[in-house]
Amino acid sequence: MMTANYVALATVIFFIGAAGVVVRRNPLIMLMSIELMWNAANLLFLAFARAWYNNAGHIFAFLVITVAAAEAAIGLAIVVVVFRSRTNVDVDEVAILKG
């Protein structure tokens, strides 16, 4: 019963994050939305770890945090590099990498 609540909350957080990525045009907001999705996943890991008395979930949560940090670092670096030469901050403007 408890677990179902956690799953519901995680689902909501995840979709807020996904919507943020799709809807917002500010790269910083997009990165933050991605963090939201990571955390939704983390929440699930912890919830199920608790429900099933299995510590693997905790370990994975730490792994996810690490990976998320790395991803954020790279993402921010790209954002800084790309927008150093531009006046505004809009991902739709950056569409030169196409077929």
Smallest gap from Cβ 57 to another protein, in A, equals 21
Smallest gap from Cβ 66 to another protein, in A, equals 23
Cβ–Cβ < 8 Å for 1, 45? no
> Residue 81 or 95: which CB sits closer to another protein?
95
**Contact map string, positions 1 to 30, toward another protein, x by CB under 8 A:** -----------------x--xxx-x----x
Q: Which two tokens stand for residue 93?
A: 């403007």
Q: Which stretch binds another protein (CB under 8 A): 2-10, 46-54, 63-71, 87-95?
A: 87-95
Q: Which two tokens stand for residue 27?
A: 């790269």
Q: Does 97 bind another protein (CB under 8 A)?
A: yes
Residues that bind another protein (CB under 8 A): 18, 21-23, 25, 30, 91-92, 94-99
